[in-house]
Amino acid sequence: MYDRKTWIVLIICSGLLALNIYFQQQKAETERQQAQQEAEDPSTIYLKETAAESTAELTIDTPPPPTEEELIELGNDQITFTLSNIGGGIKYAEFNHEFEVGGTSEKVRSNRFGRGPIGAIADPSQQLVNIAYTYKAEQSVEGKKAVYIAKLPSGIVAKKSFSLIESDKPGSPYLLDYTLQIENAATAAISLGDWSIFLGEASPLYPKEVPSQTGFFWREDGDMHFNHGGKFKKGWFGMRSAKSIIDSPANETVRFAGVTNQFFTTVIKPEQPSTTTVWGKSRQVEIQEGSKPVSSVQAGLRLPTNQLQPGQSTTFSYRIFIGPKQNTMLRSMENHWGEGWGDVMQYGWFWFISRPLNWLLNFYHDLIDSVAEAWAWGLAIIILTITVRIFIWPLHAKSTRTMKRMSKLKPKMDELREKHKDDPNKLNMETMGLYRKYGINPLGGCLPMLLQIPIFFGFYRMLQYAVELRGKGFLWVDDLSQPDTLGHLFGIPLNLLPTVMAVTSFLQIKMTPSTGDKMQQRIMMLMPIMFFLFCYNFASALALYWTTQNIFSIGQTWLMGKMPEPELQASKKANKKSFMQRMAEKQAEMQKMQKEGRRPGDMRDVTPKKKKNRGPRTGG
């Protein structure tokens, strides 16, 4: 019965996987065409309008803006912010550190596919107002501060100021102060809540990056909310309709919002949190020429819902962060720049495991960096994996010992299956009796393994978002954040570490004591193949962790094999009644007493006793 169910589940899963592959191939060409159409969308064209003259206070003595794009740079030794007068904001930010990938050096550029600059203003239809701004040179500081001003077609006059934060506090090289001053130069009131600030656009760094890692997010109170690019697409079998825009719920106090990919993020944090909303859009872009289109996500943070009367002005202050998702730095920022920065890592439910593991990873790296700089991060992963395995050694040892004892019961189990093959209920009762007789907990073999699952997922999420590993090599691996592709065969990448991982997983299973029936054992032997296919294109850091764990487990299993075998003896508690059995017997006795008319609790023997025959009395 259970065997048939297992095969049915496997067949259904295989069918769904085949359908998914088919639909993905059918959608690939459609997405490519959508990318081309969106690239030609007129809303992305810069509107190089000349700002109309205004009598508003902000634009007095303001010269007309240039008709061509002009770029200026603000920066430090970590990052360079390139600002544009078209849209009046950060066109892109480039990290000065070069990463060695595939033998070539490259720099990471945030907002590289952005339809407008970070800090631009979007109208009520979420279209960027990319008009030309005037650069106020007299109010700016070269390389440190930039001021822009323009009058929008709606009558809004916007003055923007971007300033570097010069401090030795954590994260300060990636921070900017952003001040937005708005004046209503129109003749009618303007609802500011219909307008928004552009948070930028995030896209994957590599064509094969996991799509669910690119999206937009916001933090309200103590909760983080995240929507990746896949949320905009139509769900399987029409279970979810496609969306052109996703809005956050109303009446939430937004602490900050931003866009992110796997390793880098852009965050805009209001100085004064307000009740507002966040919107997000997605489109398809080609990261490399001729590659399959991937989802790129853009977002905006709406202004507070205030009415601005004609002639009135107001000022909003923000802090912009454009930088790496580095756990230690973001956690340290909470002590200086406000709470919540550490949540940008998006570790999920197992953050309480991922955070200390990331701290340990950096600790081990710092210890060995001076000795083996080139391989420091790879060695740190190996040492961290061994540390975790030593920590959970008692769980693994208990699981192995229980499985060995269960394997010794296999002959008796086979006899029971043959004896009660037509009576499943009787078989289950006899099986549980057998476990009770020898004092074996049937969950003793798998329960310790289940307790390791949170550790595994915490480790997985930590390595998945560890920007420290990007561009770092180990042995033949060029980049621990990417698959260790050695070449291609008929277009298929040849990744070595996942292959070693699968082989070591197979050896580990072969050394583990066999339990269960033949079908269960076959399924266990298929697990390495399933994980091999699932993890083949994962980051090599994950494959290195898993391979190290398998090798450690093999050594641990071999060592335990040298220890004395556990004896299979009847438990002294086998004949001792359990609490539930005693309670059941007590209940049965109470019911019997009620039927006989006795009061509950009266345990005396009320059976009539016969009088003794003492014979005839004699007179005296």
Write out pLDDT tens, residues 12-37.
555 555 555 445 545 544 444 444 44
pLDDT at 427 over 60: yes
Q: What is the pLDDT of residues 251-263, one digit of tens each?
A: 889 999 999 998 8
Q: List residues bridging with 105 in a β-sheet.
A: 100
**Which of 69-73, 473-477, 592-596, 601-605 shows the lowest per-residue confidence on average (mean pLDDT)?**
601-605
Q: List residues bridging with 183 in a β-sheet.
A: 157, 313
Q: At 534, is the pLDDT very low, low, confident or very high (cuts 50, 70, 90)?
A: confident
Most confident of 98-102, 364-368, 481-485, 502-506: 364-368
Q: What is the mean pLDDT of the chain?
A: 77
Q: What is the pLDDT of residues 108-131, one digit of tens each?
A: 899 999 999 999 999 999 999 999
| Angle, helices 540-561/376-391, rounded to nearest 10 degrees | 40
Asked if residue 271 lies in contact with residue 318, where contact means CB atoms within 8 angstroms, the answer is yes
Asked if residue 183 lies in contact with residue 160, where contact means CB atoms within 8 angstroms, the answer is no
Q: How many CB atoms lie within 10 A of CB 403?
A: 18
Identify the pLDDT of residue 42.
41
Identify the pLDDT of residue 431.
73
Q: At 44, is the pLDDT very low, low, confident or very high (cuts 50, 70, 90)?
A: very low
Q: What is the pLDDT of residues 468-477, one digit of tens each?
A: 888 788 888 8
The CA distance from 380 to 374, in Å, is: 12
Closest Cα to residue 473, out of 462, 460, 459, 484? 484
Mean of the pLDDT values across residues 341-345? Answer: 89
Q: Is 603 exposed, middle or buried (0-12, 13-18, 19+ CB in 10 A)?
A: exposed
Residue bearing the bigger pLDDT, 52 or 428: 428
Identify the pLDDT of residue 140.
87
Q: For 489-564, where are the alpha helices, taking DSSP H only?
A: 496-511, 518-535, 540-561
Q: At 159, is the pLDDT very low, low, confident or very high (cuts 50, 70, 90)?
A: very high
The CA distance from 364 to 382, in Å, is: 10
Residue bearing the bigger pLDDT, 123 or 499: 123
The enclosing H or E element of 416 equals helix 410-419
Can you read off the two tokens belonging to residue 48? 């190089």
The CA distance from 56 to 159, in Å, is: 12
Identify the pLDDT of residue 9.
46
Residue bearing the bigger pLDDT, 337 or 8: 337
Q: At 59, is the pLDDT very low, low, confident or very high (cuts 50, 70, 90)?
A: low
Q: Which residues contact 423 (CB under 8 A, 6 or more apart)?
A: none
Residue 607: HSE in the Cβ half-sphere, 13 Å Cα cutoff: 2
Identify the pLDDT of residue 459.
85
Identify the pLDDT of residue 52.
36
Residue bearing the bigger pLDDT, 587 or 249: 249
Mean of the pLDDT values across residues 542-563? Answer: 81
Q: List residues bridging with 94 in a β-sheet.
A: 80, 109
Identify the pLDDT of residue 504.
85
Identify the pLDDT of residue 231.
85
Closest Cα to residue 332, out of 225, 162, 174? 174
Closest Cα to residue 65, out of 149, 143, 8? 149
Backbone phi, psi, residue 389, to 5°: -65, -35
Compute CA distances 283 → 12, 21, 113, 120, 200, whole Å.
32, 21, 10, 19, 13
pLDDT at 451 over 60: yes
Q: Is 547 exposed, middle or buried (0-12, 13-18, 19+ CB in 10 A)?
A: buried
Q: What is the pLDDT of residues 454-489, one digit of tens each?
A: 888 888 888 888 888 887 888 888 888 888 888 778
The CA distance from 516 to 494, in Å, is: 35
Q: Which residues contact 283 (CB under 8 A, 6 or more apart)?
A: 34, 35, 38, 295, 296, 298
The enclosing H or E element of 494 equals strand 492-495
Residue with tokens 């991060």: 377
Q: What is the pLDDT of residues 67-91, one digit of tens each?
A: 788 999 999 989 999 999 999 999 9
The CA distance from 367 to 380, in Å, is: 9
Share of the chain above pLDDT 70, in %: 70
Identify the pLDDT of residue 559.
78
With the C-alpha atoms ordered 55, 57, 62, 68, is the resulting torsion angle positive or negative? negative
Does domain 45-345 fall into CATH 1.10.10.10?
A: no
Residue bearing the bigger pLDDT, 557 or 220: 220
Mean of the pLDDT values across residues 418-436? Answer: 71
The enclosing H or E element of 18 equals helix 2-39
Identify the pLDDT of residue 37.
46
Identify the pLDDT of residue 516.
53
Q: At 233, is the pLDDT very low, low, confident or very high (cuts 50, 70, 90)?
A: confident
The CA distance from 389 to 490, in Å, is: 38
Identify the pLDDT of residue 181.
93
Q: What is the pLDDT of residues 85-101, one digit of tens each?
A: 999 999 999 998 766 54
Length of the chain: 620
Q: List residues bridging with 71 in a β-sheet.
A: 84
Identify the pLDDT of residue 105.
63
